[in-house]
């Protein structure tokens, strides 16, 4: 049955495409027209076309693929047999695969790389490209490429060498990191002064927990006579950060004020 452009909406086309779920390629010889004309009629007569995501279309495409795949293909010659370069076992691989594929598995390839491609067995090996050095910390001999500027056999030896002498640290400047304060003015001494003063600012009464909540700062330890080398306990007093900044002005007044305060602390 041949359909022309002047025909009404044909029942036969709707039956073949919608009910029997035939494709346009199969409908074309039945209607004695081209595939393009079948699509033209579907649009003209308002018959909705199926989407490519239709499960039936996908199953048809897969079945067509299976018919031409592997042994179903007229050009099928069977897999080609190779010999693994590592375990020397025969393995099969498709003829369309990479002809340089020489290993039956990734594990065989890793073993081959580790055993056959290291040192002088590596095709990129260059004679005298490595040198043997002695570790600067433990004296143990180790071999490294010449392009590496390494003087230690391990990271642990490098850290131990740095800790053995402060002058080994590149940023060492002769112990001036704490200046102008002496090294004895450490956290242990500051904690003792804070505990003596009940962790409270001796000027405004702010306690340390409040200072941490407000400014995220611990209480400071102030030198009463402003001499940083004087670390006697009667010369140290606890202040909050803001009070420690304020007492840097009008020093004579604040020195007399805190001298009275420290006498009250040590008085019986």
| 91-110 pLDDT per residue, tens | 887 665 565 578 888 888 88
Which one is predicted more confidently, 61 or 154? 154
List all residues 6 or more positions away from 26 whose beta carbon is below 8 Å from its beta carbon. Answer: none
> Mapping DSSP to helix (H, G, I), strand (E, B) and coil, where does residue 239 land?
strand
Q: Is 235 within 8 Å of 266 (Cβ atoms)?
A: no
Higher per-residue pLDDT: 130 or 61: 130
> Could you tell me the CA-to-CA distances from 122 to 119, 125, 127, 249 in Å, in that order?
6, 5, 11, 74
Looking at per-residue pLDDT, the higher value among 10 and 219 belongs to 219
User: Cα–Cα distance between 48 and 83 in angstroms, integer?
Assistant: 56
Residue 88 pLDDT exceeds 80: yes
Mean pLDDT of 104-125: 78
Contact status, residue 77 vs residue 95, Cβ threshold 8 Å: yes
How many contiguous H segments (helices) and E segments (strands) does the chain have?
A: 10, 6
Q: Report d(CA 152, CA 142) in Å as an integer.
A: 8
């Amino acid at each position: 049955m041949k359909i022309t452009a002047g025909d009404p909406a044909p029942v036969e086309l709707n039956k073949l495409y919608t009910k029997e779920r035939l494709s346009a390629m199969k409908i074309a010889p039945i209607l004695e027209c081209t595939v393009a004309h079948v699509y033209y009629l579907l649009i003209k007569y308002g018959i909705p076309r199926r989407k490519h995501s239709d499960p039936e279309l996908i199953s048809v495409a897969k079945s067509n693929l299976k018919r031409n795949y592997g042994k179903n293909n007229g050009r099928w010659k069977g897999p080609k047999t190779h010999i693994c370069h590592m375990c020397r076992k025969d393995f099969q691989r498709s003829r369309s695969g990479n002809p340089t594929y020489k290993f039956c598995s990734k594990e065989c390839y890793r073993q081959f790389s580790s055993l056959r491609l290291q040192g002088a067995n590596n095709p990129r090996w260059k004679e005298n490209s490595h040198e043997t050095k002695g570790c600067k910390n433990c004296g143990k001999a180790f071999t490294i490429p010449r392009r590496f500027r390494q003087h230690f056999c391990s990271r642990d030896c490098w850290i131990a060498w740095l800790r053995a002498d402060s002058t080994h640290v590149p940023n060492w400047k002769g112990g001036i990191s704490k200046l102008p304060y002496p090294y004895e003015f450490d956290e242990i001494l500051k904690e003792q002064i804070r505990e003596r003063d009940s962790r409270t600012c001796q000027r405004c009464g702010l306690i340390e927990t409040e200072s941490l909540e407000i400014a995220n700062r611990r209480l400071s330890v102030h030198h009463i006579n402003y001499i940083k080398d004087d670390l006697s306990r009667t010369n140290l007093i606890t202040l909050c950060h803001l009070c420690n900044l304020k007492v840097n002005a009008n020093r004579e007044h604040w020195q007399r004020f805190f001298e009275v305060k420290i006498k009250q602390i040590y008085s019986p």
